[in-house]
Each structure stands twice: as structure tokens, then as C-alpha cells.
Structure 1
């Protein structure tokens, strides 16, 4: 019995490097009301609404994936709260917890949280990641084309209903590196975990350059000039390396300078049913018909889908650096707004 046959017997997806897949990220829409420069193209061409997988189909896919060992599901976008019905979808996912699902999370720009925080909490959402790239209102406007105060109000609303929150900040040279110290001070005051993210080659207009990346080492250098910084052990499959900064936890996601690919346990599905074994995968699987078939004939469709996914996931590359070396240009198969990071 070969490795893939053994894994089929126990129902866990695993790649050729022995990494078990326990986390699924689902982008429910590519639409977003922000135009962040590291993500959204200047003139986006949105997916057609009739091409999107229904929430019913997404639920059946999530059920199938939980049966294959997925323990955490994260809802992303675009901006997930722009898709009508997402709160009810999160409520539906709670029924999968009796089958082994442990957490349902969401990544959001925070703009609509003042409106939806309470409903999301009532629906059973476990935690939130909120994007916040600057505390300077003018700088925030330049980065996102939106008003800063709506995000702060959304964060406050999420805190008021008791959400566990992480703040995500993408750093870009010449844009917002002056926010590193202020954001750490603010997050400490707010008792929120902050994570800095290196700028990745997934921007919509393909203007990414290595020269624009603020590396983990540069971030730590700034932090060390103002704070006492200690590395925390036990990163495991988490994308962020964690540091204790004057008593508060700060994470750094260093995909470019010091990638975490060695323990990667993530899989991704976009809103129109394209499946990716890696954020930087050169090619995905178009699974929309297979996913829709789950609702019609689950037993037969699940066998076919499992076989298809096992082969694709098994051939996942070792990591970002390996993929980058295979071509002469920056890696980019799909921009960030279409897959949710």
C-alpha cells in the first residue's frame, strides 16, 4: 500500500512532503469596497455573480472537507461581508463541529463590522482577523481609498461583543513603515494581537518588487530600537512567527524573507470553485461541477472528488522559494482580492 493509498484509507489530505492539511480558506467573493494598493487592481473585473458557488454548494464542500480532516475554516474575500447570506452560512457551518470542525474564522477589512459584529457573534463565528495598515487617517485614505474611522468603529464593535481579534498590517517600503511603532503601541493599549505581513507578489496590477518589501529583520530592527523583543517558540503551522514585545505578542508573517512553508497545512477555494494547494500555485483545479454534484449524489461525487484532490494536493510544491526559482518573473497566478490571502 503506497502513501497516497494509506492516506485515502484514513481520510487525511497530505502532500508529498508529509504536511497534513487541517485548514481551509474559502473566498466567498472577490468584491471589495477598499482598493488597497497591495491587493486590488486599479480596474478590477469582478467575477459574475452567476459564476459564484452558492452557499449551499459551499456548505456541502465544507462538510466533505471536514470529513477529510479539515479542522479550521476561514471565510475571506475580497470583503466577505459584502456577500449577502454570509452570516447565515457561518451559522450553518456550526453543525460541522460535531464532525470535527474546531473553528470558523473570518478575515475582513472591518468596514462593515459595526453593522455585523453582533450577528456574526450570534452565528457562532469564533474569531476575526481585521486589516489595518495605518493609524494615520490621510495615509490610510491613500492606501485604501476609504475612511479610517469606519474601521476603528468596526474594531470597537467586535471588541464589544467579545471577539478574539488579530490585526493584520501589510507593510510596504515608502508607504507605511513609519507605522510599525505606533501600531505596536496602539495594539498594546487595545489589548489586541498585531501581525505584520511582508508585501507579497499578489497585487492586482503586478507592480510588486522585492525592493518594496519590508523584511522581518527590518521590522525587528525597528521594534528593538524602542522595545524589549523576545522570540516565542512553537510556530508550528502558524504563518506568523511570534515575538513578545514589552509584554505584548506581535507576529511577523515573512513569506518573502523567511517563509513558513515547511509546516504549511492550508488549502484554498475561491468563490467560483477554483481550488489551490498553495497561495502561489501556478495552476489550480476547477472544481465547481464536482462541488455542485455533492448536493445531488454525495456518495458517488465524494469518491471522485477525493481522488482528484488527493493527487493535486500530493503534488504541492515545497514552498514559495521553490516556486519562485522555477520562473524568471514574480509568481502570480491570481491577485489577492480573488483568493483572500
Structure 2
């Protein structure tokens, strides 16, 4: 895969609120080998292959954003590692790391395939991954994921670390589901030398239930953690929305992503590209741009960059997530696996 992208490097992507876009999250597939309760319905209809961007098209689009000042690429899904040929794409995008145009190429994974692919990811330049892990109880893990097994995920975490890839755990806080796992997960992370981030459940898509039943504000999670650990504010940032605390005496960090209780829109530097080439300007808004049509209509990258500019000019100030009304419809109808986790 290759491409030539020649817009001037002094033409960064800046939205109407003077926020510079430096972070692109890219869903490479809507498919997943899990069916996590907060992410999707148990019976899902996935996209036909023809609707997905090819690996070459994904490369072209990612490279266009890198040429405009995006410094961080995160590949997501669904589960990104179930996309056939993904490591070929990652190896190709690694040229931007070598050139210095890109600071980081990373991915978010459920960990189920990580043991298999960790050496290839490391060879391609991936230095950090996020692994979703909501419980350490094997039975509860299967209930949350509806079909996953915990052991391969733990093996994947170990394999990634052995390959030289730093691992951060992501945990969705679910009232009445994994509240009792908060402290065990923190202990596991810190004993293994890992950071961990807790995330509030987001009102996206029909999940065969009412999210208000499981919404757990992270203020409550933090209070639980502070019964055992002393937390201190941290200036550490990864380029994403998490706000971190140091755990005194351990050298590790705990992150909190609070899109509902304390949103982080004022500093948003991100846009999201789906596996069909739809560019979402905000996780919690439906406005989007169809970049697949542009890709397939012309090889002229000037047209592509014009389409990207037009989209960024519409980026909203913030999202409209609300979850405190029992029975309320999702804020957006698309599932998280469609937008990219």
C-alpha cells in the first residue's frame, strides 16, 4: 500500500471552536467475536463486505489525515483483530511512524486474538494497546460478553507485554454487574504493572435493555477505589478523553472517562472514521460525512482533502448524551461497534 499526499503541513485541521484535530479513531470492522451487553444486541446483523473500506482505502484515508496534522491513529472495531489482513494495514501505516509524521499507532481490542497477533503488532510499530476487561470472574465475563472466555484475554495481555507492547485496561462500569470487580481489577492492574481506565456506559444503540439500569457514575467508582487506595491528581495525558489519577505508593495510574457525569467536550481533539468511510465528528451526534463516496469517485486527493475540510468545519461543540431518564431512547441509534469502540 502506498499513496502520495501533498497538502501543506502548515494546514492543520481546526474545528469551528479552534480545537486542533490531532487524533483519529478508525473502525476497521463492525464485526466482533463478543457481544458485550453494553455495546451491541445479542443478535446482530453485520455489514456486507462490499460496504467496508478496503485496506488500501483505509490506508489512503488515514494517510490523508496524517498529512493534515493527525498525530495519533487508533484502530478499533468491533474487534479490529478479526479483520483479515489487518497487520498488513498496520505495517503500511507504520511508515508514518518512521517518517516522524505520526507519534503513535495503536489499537483497542477485546484481547481475544492478542496472543496470536502480538509479535506482528510489535514488529509493525505498535507500542501500546488498550484491552477491554470488565471483570476477572470467568462466569461473569461470559455473561457480559455473551460468548467470550476470560483465559485467552489474560493470555493476550501477557503476550503483548512479552512482545514489548504496553497494555492499558479499559473497564466499563456497570451498576449491578461489575461493581464488586472494581477493586479486584485495580489490584490486578497494579500488580501486573498496568494502568486502568474506567468508563461510563454510553447511550448508543439498542442493546436489548435499559441502560439506566446499569449506569454507574464514576464518582461512585472513585469513592470505592479510595476506600483502599490514595489517589492524587496527575497531569498525565494520552491524547484521549481520560483524566488520570496517580495511585500513591504504586507508581500506577487510574483513568476516568466520564462522557455523562462530567463531559470532556471542551478539549475534544478527535474524530471517528467508520469501516464504511463515514466520518463522525462527535461520538454523541449523528452528523457525519461520507468519505467512501469521495474515495471511490476520484483518485484526486485534493477532492478528498476538500471533503475532510468541509466535514471538520461542521464539528459541534459537544455531545447530547443523557442517561438519567428511565426508558429514554438511546442518544444515537448506531451501536458502538458501528462507530468504533
TM-score (norm 2): 0.90
Q: In structure 2, how many angstroms separate the alpha carbons of the residues matched to 1:208 and 1:319?
A: 24
Does the 8 A contact of 1:200 with 1:208 survive in 2?
Answer: no
Pair 1:288 & 2:299 matched:
no
Please give the residue correspondences for 1:1-341 in structure 2 after superposition, counting only pairs within 5 Å: 10-97=10-97, 98=99, 100-144=101-145, 145-205=147-207, 207-233=209-235, 235=237, 237-246=239-248, 247=250, 248-293=252-297, 297=299, 301-321=300-320, 329-341=329-341
Paired residues, what number?
A: 328
Q: Residue 10 of structure 1: CA displacement?
A: 3.3
Does the 8 A contact of 1:237 with 1:264 survive in 2?
Answer: no
Does the 8 A contact of 1:268 with 1:275 survive in 2?
Answer: yes
Q: Deviations over 1:143-188 (max 9, x none)?
A: 0121111100111111111101110001111111111100011101
Describe the SS at the equivalent of 1:184.
Answer: helix
Q: In structure 2, how many angstroms separate the alpha carbons of the residues matched to 1:146 and 1:14?
A: 40
Q: In structure 2, how many angstroms separate the alpha carbons of the residues matched to 1:100 and 1:194?
A: 28
Cα 1:236–1:49 shift into 2, 3 Å: closer
Q: Residue 238 of structure 1: CA displacement?
A: 3.0
Q: Residue 308 of structure 1: CA displacement?
A: 2.4
Q: Deviations over 1:234-259 (max 9, x none)?
A: 65953111011233210011111011
Q: Residue 80 of structure 1: CA displacement?
A: 0.7
Q: Residue 219 of structure 1: CA displacement?
A: 1.0
- What residue ranges of structure 2 are gaps of 5+ in the alignment? 1-6
Does the 8 A contact of 2:106 with 2:127 survive in 1?
Answer: yes
Q: Residue 318 of structure 1: CA displacement?
A: 1.4
User: Which has more helix, going by share of residues?
Assistant: 1
Cα 1:204–1:162 shift into 2, 3 Å: farther
Does the 8 A contact of 1:113 with 1:154 survive in 2?
Answer: yes
Does the 8 A contact of 2:112 with 2:153 survive in 1?
Answer: yes
Q: Residue 205 of structure 1: CA displacement?
A: 2.3
Q: In structure 2, how many angstroms separate the alpha carbons of the residues matched to 1:134 and 1:324?
A: 26
Q: Residue 208 of structure 1: CA displacement?
A: 4.5
Q: In structure 1, how many angstroms separate the alpha carbons of the residues matched to 2:218 and 2:315?
A: 25
Q: Deviations over 1:76-104 (max 9, x none)?
A: 11011111100011000011231611111
TM-score (norm 1): 0.90
Q: In structure 2, how many angstroms separate the alpha carbons of the residues matched to 1:16 and 1:177?
A: 39
Does the 8 A contact of 2:260 with 2:322 survive in 1?
Answer: no
Cα 1:103–1:196 shift into 2, 3 Å: same
Q: Residue 227 of structure 1: CA displacement?
A: 1.2
- What residue ranges of structure 1 are gaps of 5+ in the alignment? 1-6
Q: What is residue 4 of structure 1 aligned with on the other side?
A: none
Q: Residue 211 of structure 1: CA displacement?
A: 4.8
Describe the SS at the equivalent of 1:243.
Answer: strand
Q: In structure 2, how many angstroms separate the alpha carbons of the residues matched to 1:84 and 1:189?
A: 34
Describe the SS at the equivalent of 2:129.
Answer: strand
Q: Residue 262 of structure 1: CA displacement?
A: 1.0
Q: In structure 1, how many angstroms separate the alpha carbons of the residues matched to 2:157 and 2:134?
A: 13
Q: CA RMSD in A?
A: 2.2
